């Protein structure tokens, strides 16, 4: 297991997040090899860290509609 220091990470909210503070995720683009993801309502909660290539594949599949509506 690899430890990633997220103390200086800057976070951005997903462009698909709704305006009323509901189902939102935030990601950090500060790292080359990984993409940390967290729940925007729990900024001190757990973070899931994805490999950059895996995250890119996931986002591409979402944009293509591979997971349905």
Q: Which residues of 14-30 are buried (b: 16+ CB within 10 A; e: fewer)?
A: eeeeeeeeeebbbbbee
pLDDT at 18: 66
Per-residue pLDDT of the chain (69 residues; tens, 9 = 90+): 778 899 999 999 887 666 666 678 999 999 999 999 999 889 899 999 999 999 999 999 988 999 986
The length of the chain in residues reads 69
pLDDT at 39: 92
Q: What is d(CA 68, CA 47) in angstroms, rounded to the nearest whole number?
A: 25
Q: pTM score, two decimals?
A: 0.81
State the number of CA atoms in the 13 A half-sphere of 43 facing the CB.
8
State the number of CA atoms in the 13 A half-sphere of 36 facing the CB.
21
pLDDT digits (tens, 9 = 90+) for 54-65: 999 999 998 899
């Amino acid at each position: 297991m690899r430890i990633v220091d997220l103390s200086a990470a800057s976070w951005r909210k997903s462009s698909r997040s709704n305006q009323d503070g509901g189902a939102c995720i935030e990601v950090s683009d500060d790292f080359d090899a990984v993409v940390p993801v967290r729940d925007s309502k729990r900024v001190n909660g757990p973070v899931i860290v994805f490999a950059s290539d895996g995250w890119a594949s996931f986002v591409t599949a979402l944009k293509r509609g591979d997971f349905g509506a």
